[in-house]
Amino acid sequence: MYDILQLNDMLVPELLDIAEQLHISDAKKLSKQDLVYKILDSQAIADSKTANNDEKPKRKRIVKATTAISTEEAFVEDEGDGAEEAEPEKNQKPPVKKVKALQKRNLLKMNQLL
């Protein structure tokens, strides 16, 4: 890798050899200063291509299909009598007989309103 000071100190035939190694077209038609800049440009382009290949690939984002949102409830316990009551379950369904009785009662109320 050459810098501008090194290239300016070189003779034109040396610059032409470097240009040939870097595959610069029409290097013989260029002036010394233009040849120096072409060499610097081609070095920068070649360097950037190799720098892109050395980088780590970006990590892919993983999206979870389901998320768990949980809530906690606080229960207050009585300290006075020492007797423990069974806590009702959240998802416990009422017995079928009670449901049917409630449905009948609701139907009777609706009929009375009509």
pLDDT band at 88 (very low <50, low <70, confident <90, very high): low
Contact 73, 87 (CB under 8 A): no
- pTM summary value: 0.46
- Mean pLDDT of all residues in the chain? 77
Query: Is the domain covering 4-54 a CATH 1.10.3470 domain?
Result: no
What are the structural domain ranges in the chain?
4-54
The secondary structure of the chain, three-state, reads CCCHHHHHHCCHHHHHHHHHHCCCCCHHHCCHHHHHHHHHHHHHHHHHHHHHHHCCCCCCCCCCCCCCCCCCCCCCCCCCCCCCCCCCCCCCCCCHHHHHHHHHHHHHHHHHHC
Mean pLDDT throughout 59-78?
Answer: 64
Flag whether pLDDT at 74 surpasses 60: no
Closest CA to 39 of 61, 65, 20: 20
pLDDT band at 36 (very low <50, low <70, confident <90, very high): very high
